[in-house]
Structure formats: structure tokens, C-alpha cells
Amino acid sequence: MQASNHTHTKINNKNFILKEIIINKCITRIDLAKFTGLTKMTVTNIVNELKSDGLILESDEFDNQNVGRNPIMLCINPAKTVIGVYLNRDYAEIFAGDMSGNIYDDTRTYLRDETTDSINKKISSCIDKLLKKYKNVLGIGISAIGPLDSENGIILDPPNFFGIKNYCIKEFLQNEYDLPVYVENDMNTSAIAEKYWGFAGDIPDYIYLGATNGIGAGIVMGGHLSRTIGEIGHVSIDINGAKCRCGNNGCLEMYASIPHNIDPESHEEKCRYLAHGVITLINLFDPGTIFLGHRIPLLGEDAPDKIKRYIKNRYISKSSNDVEIKFSKFGRRSPKYGAVAIFVERHIF
Ligand SMILES: [Zn+2]
């Protein structure tokens, strides 16, 4: 019992330190001890482990100018690569990324009348090319439409997706490449991208709200992804409304979904409907911050302010401060960064 607790603490401390290095880009050992509250000895031991894992480098290992002048910084090793896949109804994007939040060599392949086999072929031909170029690949992270079984990496039965059901994408890629593969829905991955490379940083409780032709939310509580499904798009806002694809009536996504060619005249109305979703999220989870992403930035720069105006005096929150509502750092590109982020979150942490 004691041994397992000890191991658990050690893993937590290692995760904690690596997360601080990712968030700060480069950091000294002294600041690491200060920010994490861990002893200098613990920091030194864990830093040595991360160095021997090849996940971090000291600044003098790649920046000669630094030698002898400045304190040595600990930085993420940019040579360690993650292959990312963003799979949605219209296309798959395949790319390489690193733990510093950079994305390289992305290829988009459009999907038309597909089967699981044809999608597998399209994705694997792009991955083959990346594997020729990148030698230090840690594994594969996938940001996909849901609903999905993330533990087993199965995309279950997404509506309007060529009639495909129970698509075992994780099993296929693991067998094909013998690399670790992690699959998560694109709202959850986007929420995690915000933690490492976006605007969330050390904020413990926040929500990522994304809208395209569907609407969903990734909920982070205490710095970790909540297992709560964020199907906010299927909260009814009109019990007498038309029937939704989920069987319910008057679901939020029937009013607030955002096509990619959104008419500017409907920006205001979309913000008003999205505000209803935001109110529900605040009443259920009381987050400090809500990040808006996917296609919500298409509603104009002032969309967060409009939504803030619509929610004013319409929710109950135990926090004394107002909930912050702002755009996510990566907007429409959030799910791509999310694919790399979910790999980091699941594999390393
Ligand atoms: Zn619905």
C-alpha cells in the first residue's frame, strides 16, 4: 500500500514538473522548485529522470550562447514528435507536432462516401510519409468527432458519417505502427490544448465550448478532464421545438450550430442562443473561465462580449467574480493542437 502510494506521488510530481516546463516553455530548476513547491532535491531527481527519458534538454545543449552567462534553463526537447490526426465529418488532417505546441507538415484529405477501410488507407498513407521524415515519434494522438469510447479508441455511431459505426481507429493504428495511440473527442482535446499551450495555464476549472454543425464542451475540473460528457448541444431550449437527431425536442444545436459560411446577419442571434448554453454550463459546473472555439470566432471579434451581455444576471454562481468568457487561443485550429495535447496528457501524464 505504502509502496503504491509512493509510486503514485512520484508520478504526480513528475507530471507536475513536466507540465510546468511545457507551460513556461523554458524554466530554471530554482523556479521549478518555487512554482511547484517541491524540494530542490525532488526537482533535481525528477529533472534527471526527464532528461534521461529524452523529454527535456538543458539550454546549453542546444544554445551555445547561453554557456557560462545565464542560469541553465530546462526546455522541452523539440525533437520528440507526436503524430496528430484530426478527424471530422468532412476531412482528416494529419500532421506532426511537438510538446512545445508547434505543428508541422499538415496534410488535409477530404472524405467522401467512405468506409472504415478507405479512411484507414487515407490516414495511414499520410502517417507513412511523416514517419519517413520524423524519426523520434512518441506516438499518435487523435481528435475525433463523437460519440466515442475513448478508452478503447472506438468512434461509435456519429450521425451523418457515411453510416460508419464502431470504427476501431485506435486498434488499426496501433497494429499498423506499433506506437501508442490515444483517441478523444475534439471538444475534450481542445480543452486540453488550452491548458498546455493556450490561455488556461494553471486555471484549475474551466470549460472549452465549441460549435460547428454540432455543439459540445470539454470540461476541465482541478486541472483534469472531467468524465462528464459535455453534450451541451443536446440540452433542450424549447420543449415544443422540432425533433432533434438525438430524439429530444428543441436542442441547443438546432439553433446555435455554426455553418462554415455563416451569414453575418445571423451573428447576433447565434450569440444569443450560445449564451443559453453558456448559462447552463455555468449553472452546472461553476467554472472560472469559458473558452470559445471551433467556429465561434466566425461570429466576429465581439462575440465574447455579446455573449457576456446576454448572460448577465441570468445565472447562479458561487464564485464572487464574474465568469470570464473569451476566445480560445487556437480557435478553429483547437482540435489539431488538441490531438497532440491529448497524447501528452494520456501518455506522459
Ligand atoms: Zn439533440
Per-position pLDDT tens, the chain of length 349 = 444 566 667 777 888 899 899 988 889 999 999 988 999 999 999 999 999 989 999 987 765 555 555 788 999 998 999 999 999 999 999 999 999 999 999 999 999 999 999 999 999 999 999 999 999 999 999 999 989 999 999 999 998 899 999 999 999 999 999 999 999 999 999 999 999 999 998 899 999 999 999 999 999 999 889 988 789 999 999 999 999 988 999 999 999 999 989 999 999 999 999 999 999 999 999 999 999 999 999 999 999 999 999 998 888 877 656 899 999 999 999 999 999 999 999 987 6
- In this predicted structure, what is the pLDDT of residue 293? 98
Grid coordinates belonging to 116: 472504415
Ligand 1 geometric centre to CA of 113 (Å): 25
- At residue 96, what is the residue type? A
Nearest-angstrom CA–CA distance, 70 and 67: 7
Grid coordinates belonging to 120: 484507414
Ligand 1 geometric centre to CA of 248 (Å): 5
Ligand 1 geometric centre to CA of 255 (Å): 11
Ligand 1 geometric centre to CA of 304 (Å): 24
Ligand 1 geometric centre to CA of 136 (Å): 43
Ligand 1 geometric centre to CA of 270 (Å): 17
Nearest-angstrom CA–CA distance, 39 and 129: 44
Three-state DSSP class for 141? strand
* CA atoms in the 13 A half-sphere facing the CB of 154: 7
Phi-psi region of 54 (alpha: psi -120 to 50; beta: other; left: phi over 0): left
- In this predicted structure, what is the pLDDT of residue 67? 52
Ligand 1 geometric centre to CA of 244 (Å): 5
- In this predicted structure, what is the pLDDT of residue 336? 98
- At residue 270, what is the residue type? K
What are the structural domains, with CATH classification, of the chain? 2-76 (1.10.10.10), 81-189+336-348 (3.30.420.40), 199-328 (3.30.420.40)
Ligand 1 geometric centre to CA of 232 (Å): 9
How many angstroms from the chain centroid is the CA of residue 209? 11
Grid coordinates belonging to 344: 501528452
Contact of 343 with 138, CB cutoff 8 Å: yes
Ligand 1 geometric centre to CA of 104 (Å): 36
* CA distances, 304 to each of 29, 186, 213 (Å): 38, 21, 19
Nearest-angstrom CA–CA distance, 246 and 234: 7
Ligand 1 geometric centre to CA of 252 (Å): 7
Cis peptide, bond prior to residue 159, ω within 30 of zero: no
- In this predicted structure, what is the pLDDT of residue 317? 76
- In this predicted structure, what is the pLDDT of residue 320? 58
Question: What single-letter DSSP state applies at residue 121?
Answer: H
Ligand 1 geometric centre to CA of 230 (Å): 13
Q: Which residues contact 147 (CB under 8 A, 6 or more apart)?
A: 156, 157, 158, 185, 229
pTM of the model: 0.92
* CA distances, 183 to each of 87, 141, 303 (Å): 10, 6, 30
Ligand 1 geometric centre to CA of 152 (Å): 25
Ligand 1 geometric centre to CA of 145 (Å): 15
Q: Residue 280: enclosing H or E segment and its boundaries?
A: helix 267-285
- In this predicted structure, what is the pLDDT of residue 349? 64
Ligand 1 geometric centre to CA of 276 (Å): 15
